[in-house]
Chain A
Amino acid sequence: MEKISQKASWGQFWYDPKKRGYLFQFILFITVIGIGSFLVSNTQQNLARQNIASGFDFLGQEAGFEISESSIDYWADDSYQRALLVGILNTIKIALVGNFFAIILGVFVGIFRLSPNWLLNKISETYIEVVRNIPLLLQLFFWYAVFTEIFPDVKESLNPLPGVFVSQRGLFFPIFKEHFIWKWVWITFFTGIICTFGSSYFLKKKWEKTGQSWSLLPFASIFLLILPFLVWIFGGAPHQLDIPELGGFNFSGGMTLTPEFVALMLGLVLYTGAFNAEIVRAGIQSVSHGQWEASQALGLSRWQTLRLVVLPQSLRVIIPPMTSQVLNLIKNSSLAVGIGYPDFVAVANTTMNQTGQAIEAVVLIMAVYLFFSLSTSFLMNYYNRSQQLKERGA
Chain B
Amino acid sequence: MSLKYTKNPEKRSLPMMQGFAKWMKKNLFSTPINSAISLILLGLLVKLLGPFLNWLVFNATWEGTAQTCRHNDGACLVFIKEKFIFILYGFYPRELLWRPTLAIAFFIGLCFYSREISRWNKRLLSYWLILILIWAFLLKGGLFGLESVSLDKWGGLPLTLILAVIGIIFSYPLGILLALGRTGYLPLVRSFCLGYIELIRGVPMISLLFMASVMFPLFLPDGLVLPKLMRAQIAIIMFMSAYMAEVVRGGLAAVDKGQYEAADALGLSYWQKMLKVILPQALKIVIPPTVNTAIGMFKDTSLVLIIALSDLLMTTKTSLKDPKWLGFSVEAYVFVALIYFIFCFSMSRYSKRLEKEFSYGGRS
Contact = CB atoms under 8 A, between A and B. Distances in A.
Contacts of A32: 192
SS of A interface (majority): helix
B186 A21 contact: yes
A213 B256 CA distance: 45
Contacts of A370: 199, 202-203
A121 to B, nearest CB: 9
B74 to A, nearest CB: 12
Interface in A351-394: 352, 358-359, 361-362, 365-366, 369-370, 373-374
Contacts of A358: 210, 214-215, 218
A142 B333 contact: yes
Contacts of B330: 142, 145-146, 149-150
Interface in A166-197: none
Nearest to B344: A133
Nearest to A136: B299
A28 B186 CA distance: 11
A25 B45 CA distance: 62
B42 A138 contact: no
A362 B299 contact: no
Contact of A29 (B188, B303, B306): B188
Nearest to A150: B330
Interface string A130-153: 101111111101100110111000
Contacts of A136: 299
B210 A349 contact: yes
Interface residues of A, number: 56
Contacts of B34: 116-117
Pick from A43, A49, A145 the residue with the most CB of B within 10 Å: A145
B321 to A, nearest CB: 13
B144 interface: no
A42 B218 contact: yes
Interface string B198-229: 01011111110011001101111110000000
A369 B303 contact: no
Contacts of B269: 17
A120 B41 contact: yes
A129 B344 CA distance: 10
Interface in B271-321: 295, 299-300, 302-303, 305-306, 313, 317
Contacts of A365: 203-204, 206-207, 210
A331 B204 contact: yes
A130 B341 CA distance: 7
Contacts of B218: 42-43, 46-47, 358-359
A119 interface: yes
Contacts of B259: none
Interface string A41-62: 0110111010000000000000
A136 B306 CA distance: 13
Nearest to A29: B188
A102 interface: no
A133 B306 contact: no
Contacts of A149: 327, 329-330
Contacts of A43: 218-219
Contact of B215 (A49, A150, A338, A362): A362
A143 to B, nearest CB: 9
Nearest to A44: B218
B47 to A, nearest CB: 13
Nearest to B320: A145
B185 A362 contact: no
A332 interface: yes
B270 interface: yes
A207 interface: no
A362 B41 contact: no
B101 interface: no
A240 B337 CA distance: 45
B38 interface: yes
Nearest to B336: A138
Nearest to B214: A358
Nearest to B224: A42
A334 interface: yes
B291 to A, nearest CB: 13
B151 interface: no
Contacts of A13: none
Contact of A42 (B210, B220, B299, B313): B220
Contact of A25 (B186, B210, B337): B186
A362 B188 contact: no
Contacts of A21: 185-186
A42 B221 contact: yes
A385 B15 CA distance: 57
B207 A39 contact: no
A366 B30 CA distance: 54
Contact of B313 (A138, A146, A148, A352): A138
B302 A137 contact: yes
A370 B219 CA distance: 23
Nearest to A116: B30
Interface in A254-280: none
Given A28-B189, A132-B344, A331-B204, 8 more contacts: A46-B217, A46-B222, A120-B37, A134-B344, A359-B218, A362-B210, A362-B214, A365-B210
24 contacts: A28-B192, A32-B192, A42-B218, A42-B219, A116-B30, A117-B27, A117-B38, A119-B37, A119-B38, A120-B37, A133-B344, A133-B348, A134-B299, A138-B302, A138-B313, A142-B337, A149-B329, A332-B204, A337-B306, A352-B210, A358-B215, A361-B210, A365-B203, A369-B202
Interface of A: 17, 21, 24-25, 28-29, 32, 39, 42-43, 45-47, 49, 116-120, 123, 129-130, 132-139, 141-142, 145-146, 148-150, 331-332, 334-335, 337-338, 345, 349, 352, 358-359, 361-362, 365-366, 369-370, 373-374
Interface of B: 27-28, 30, 34, 37-38, 41-42, 45, 185-189, 192, 199, 201-207, 210-211, 214-215, 217-222, 269-270, 295, 299-300, 302-303, 305-306, 313, 317, 327, 329-330, 333-334, 336-337, 340-341, 344-345, 348
